[in-house]
Chain A
Amino acid sequence: GAGVSQSPSNKVTEKGKDVELRCDPISGHTALYWYRQSLGQGLEFLIYFQGNSAPDKSGLPSDRFSAERTGGSVSTLTIQRTQQEDSAVYLCASSLDRDGTYEQYFGPGTRLTVT
C-alpha cells in the first residue's frame, strides 16, 4: 500500500512569511509524528498525535509553530513568521500505535529553506 506522503517536497520562502507543511500518514495508523532534521544533525522531535489530539506540544521550538490533525488522518504543520533558523528537513512519521512496539514509517520529508 501507499506509504507516508508529504508535500511540498521542497519549499523556499522569504523570512517572515508563513508556511504550511502537509503529511498524509499510512491509512489506519493512529499515531503521527513530526520531526525536524537540520544538516548533519539527528532527529529533533516536534510533536505527536494520537488520533486527532496532541497530548503534549512542548516539543515545538516556539509559539510560531503549530500543528493540527483532522479526521485522524492528514496533519499540517504551520510555521508563522519564518526565520532562517527554521531551515531544515521536516519529517513526518506514522505508526500503528504510539505505545506499542510498532516501528515508525517515515515520509520523504519537506526541505524548507528560509532566505
Chain B
Amino acid sequence: GQNIDQPTEMTATEGAIVQINCTYQTSGFNGLFWYQQHAGEAPTFLSYNVLDGLEEKGRFSSFLSRSKGYSYLLLKELQMKDSASYLCAVRVPNSGNTPLVFGKGTRLSVIA
C-alpha cells in the first residue's frame, strides 16, 4: 500500500522558522505536493517537487530527497495567519484509483 507520514501537530512562535517533515513509502513516485488548508476551507497549493533539492517561494521552501523518501516544508518569518494544516501528497503513477495520495496533515499553531 501507499503510506505518507507527517507529524500530527506542531507549535511555533510568530517570527520564527518551522520545518514540517514528510516521509513516504509508495509504489512509485512522480512528484510531491504541499498544500495549505485553513480550518473550514479547501486546500490550496503551495509547492511541487519532482527533483531532489530545495524549491524556494517567498517565505515558503520545500525540499525533496527521493532516495530517502523524504520531504520538508520550511516556513520562515512565521505569521499568525500561517496557522493551518499542511498536507503532504505524493503523485503515484499507474496507481490505479488514486493518482494523488495525501498524508493526514500537520496542524501548525503559530503563537505570539
Contact = CB atoms under 8 A, between A and B. Distances in A.
A17 interface: no
Interface stretch (A53-61, A69-77, A80-88): A53-61
Given A107-B42, A109-B42, A58 B96 contact: yes
A57 B105 CA distance: 25
A57 B96 CA distance: 10
Interface residues of B, number: 23
A105 B43 CA distance: 8
Contact of A57 (B43, B48, B97): B97
B72 interface: no
Interface residues of A, number: 25
A56 B102 contact: no
**Prevailing SS type, chain A contact patch:** loop
Interface in A11-70: 33, 35, 41-43, 45, 47-48, 55-59
B97 A101 contact: no
Contact of A59 (B31, B48, B98): B98
A48 B96 contact: no
Contacts of A103: 33, 45, 48
A104 interface: yes
B99 interface: yes
B44 interface: yes
B103 A108 contact: no
Contacts of B104: 41-42
B42 A108 contact: yes
B71 to A, nearest CB: 15
Interface of B: 31, 33, 41-45, 48, 50, 87, 89, 91, 93, 96-105
Interface of A: 4, 33, 35, 41-43, 45, 47-48, 55-59, 91, 98-99, 101, 103-109
